[in-house]
Structure 1
Amino acid sequence: MGLLGWPLLVLLVALAVAAPAGCLLAWNRLPGPRAARAAARLGLIATCQVTALLLAGTLINRGLHLYASWDDLLGSGATAGGEIQAVGPQGGGTRRGFGPFRYDRRSRTYVARPVGAASGVRAEVRVWLPKEYSDPAHAGRRFPVIELFPGFPGSSWTWFGAMRGADRLAEALRRGQARPAILVAPTITVQPGRDTECSDIPGGPKVATWLTEDIHRIVTGHFRALPDASAWAAMGYSTGGFCAAKLAARHPDRYRAAVSLAGYFRPTSPDLRRSPALARANSPVELLASRPAVDLLLAGSREDPGTVTAIDALLPRVRPPTRAFTYIVPTGGHNVRVWRDMLPRAYAWLAQRLPGPS
């Protein structure tokens, strides 16, 4: 029974309805002394609350796709291995295997849980290929890459579920407003409940190494991806926006550009804030002092408290060759719908910076 499937939702709805109904029926029919009846009634109330909370949590998760599976929620799961003949993302028959990656029809992505050679991190990675990838006209050509970061505690699935990142790019391609690119969504919360803000934590997970070194090696090793920094960009929303701006500013040798959708630019993670030096080393505001040769698109909403303020505070730190661009919408809160609607312009902006297949 999948975490995002209908069977689980139907079961929880039934339990949420049955629990209070059973409570009403049993309330005055409980046997035993007064103390036992009181304890039983507390148990009935607790059962009603638990079933209601489970249903509410499941509905929230279905809407935001915070966790895509039980393995994702529990931080478990085995790696997928072997050479796999996968069905192409556009339904065009079989394709050659992509190492450990298997094709997921639901999200139309290739998914695996590889181990990062440099970081030691093992986590889920999803890869979406544009239809041009299997077009004979592009045979042998390599494609630019857009690395996608979710918020906290979002999963790699969110970009292809609630965010509809692949659909938005496909639509932009049909309108001639984007370039064909490989979308890569790695897991950034590699330990459940621990928000590292995409950083290497001393004595903890090396998430920055995972996202910059390992993902680059994994993607270029299994897919026809252009390896040069000029062909890679980062994009994220909320915490993922912080990650995109930070990693691009810290690693201009890995990324040409970054898009921050409703991100922030000063660390908030306890893992970082306990050390002022570590916080400075992972702060986009501080990293811009080195004048990295990257372009940044900073997007926010005037109705999303703090996002425009954060952008305004970052802009004075920008010095050539760094370039910053802003995209401010007048309405909308801190939610997926707002960020999803920003994607067409974000993809068009990236198309002006990333090369085409070559």
Structure 2
Amino acid sequence: METTYIESTFEKLIPNKLPYNIFWVILSVLTYCISELILFLFHEDRYFVFQLLIIGGVLTWPIFYRIYSKKFYDLFKDIKAIFWENDNDANEWYVNNSKRIFALNTIVSKLLVLLLMVLGILTLIYLGLPFNNTSVNVMAVIGFLVIYFIAINSVNIMVQMFITLYKLSELVPKVGFYRYSHPAFLKIKKLYLEFGVVTSIIYFGLVLSFNCSPYNMNLVLLAWLSSIAILPLGMYVCASLLSKKIILKAREYQTDKIDSKIESQYKKLEKEADMDDIIKLKNYMDIKNNLLKYQITQNKINSIFALIIAFISLVSQIITIIKGLGIKGVFRG
């Protein structure tokens, strides 16, 4: 049974006749140009880098949401036969998790986004409005709410991705004998490590944009950055540990099958000793010992992704710490 692809939140907002990626790029450019024009006409301070990073970056995030929604769908098709014997169970797992991650279609996802929206609004109230003209501030608040809603969907996606991989690691993969390097296992890890790199780049962009904002870097923004700093490295740790757990589950599944054969063969020997049965028992035990000796090692792709994530996160943290210590104006737009 073919599983129907579940559209992400922002795919549903765009009419089918409009090219999805082009729509968001055009919207990003238009929004930036309009914001520049408004600030110019009302003689307000302009923040070139901040506007470019926030408007240009955030409004193109839905493109990445869609890319990884489709990657998740493709991954599901690759692992479907390994983790589920029943098509209905497999399809139900995909639909539930895809809606929770990308479609904002569950109570937990909605509550998480709502909580972040409230915290964002409270932060804005605490920091105050950045411009002198009331009309500009009203337009800025409206723009902030739209862009902020798009941005915090990424937090929900990351959190739900963690949960989904954990739930997947609780299932038993039924792969062929000695197939611990099954392509599906590598695809699981690669998807999560790729997303970890994207998360690191997004975090780096946030660090730069906060430094270039009308508020510069202050304790409130520093607290925001510190609270989400764990997500990029968390994605790497999650992908490494849980994908290893999945491989161990596959090994455990195979050792259990060997154990049942060993037990059956041993019972035969208890009734009547036979040389052939003794040889079979010894062979089964050798196979089990070889299974248990199998070493799960990191591959080159894993190491490269780890290096990229660590480097981007380190640079981001250095910038944040420097600004947090009071060195201001370096990155001002």
With a CA cutoff of 8 Å and minimum separation of 6, indicate the structure with the bigger relative contact order: 2
Give the helix-richer structure, 1 or 2.
Answer: 2
TM-score under structure 1 length normalisation: 0.24
Give the strand-richer structure, 1 or 2.
Answer: 1
TM-score under structure 2 length normalisation: 0.25
Higher Cα Rg, which structure: 2
